[in-house]
Amino acid sequence: MLSEKLQRAFNEQINHEMASAYLYLSMAAYAHSMNLPGFAHWLELQTKEEKGHAMKLYKFVNERGNRVELLPIAQPASDFKSPAHLFEEILNHERKITALINRLYETALEEKDYAAQVLLHGFIEEQVEEEATASEILETIRMAGEKGHALIMMDRQLARRGMH
């Protein structure tokens, strides 16, 4: 069983992961409205990934004999100034999630819950990748510019995510 403190922290993280999925889905809708189907595709896959994270945490809490309590999800942002602004928001969001995962890991350490620590190692590693990917895409957009052929090429590159 998870301690009460750790169970509460896991429930909160499940909420953050579902809120992330909801945010990325909102961002995908924005990308579709801007006629950027590759950006939308990338964000839709990100939505699925975040839901997968939530479900992994959900399953862990259940397997430990605790009960998941779902919390309300706030309405996500839905309007962004540009593709660069979109990825600035993504990078900032991933940094926030990294801090939350780190805090959850610290709670697992305090509670001496070794199984939770092992589970969270994978989340910590993935956050390094998430931040690096968002940063790389943002810098590519900044270098290429946000109009014309370069943006179209970037859109096509993002459309290839998950095709290997």
Domain span including residue 102: 4-73+80-159
pLDDT tens digits along 36-86 = 999 999 999 999 999 999 999 999 999 999 999 999 999 999 999 999 999
Quickly state the pLDDT bin for 151 (edges 50, 70, 90). Answer: confident
Is there a domain that residue 164 lies in?
no
pLDDT tens digits along 87-122 = 999 999 999 999 999 999 999 999 999 999 999 999
pLDDT tens digits along 15-33 = 999 999 999 999 999 999 9
Res 164: pLDDT: 57
Quickly state the pLDDT bin for 137 (edges 50, 70, 90). Answer: very high
How crowded is residue 23: how many other Cβ atoms within 10 Å of its Cβ?
A: 23
Number of independent structural domains in the chain = 1
CATH number assigned to the domain comprising residue 55: 1.20.1260.10
Is there a domain that residue 44 lies in?
yes
User: Across residues 149-164, what is the average pLDDT?
Assistant: 86
Is there a domain that residue 133 lies in?
yes
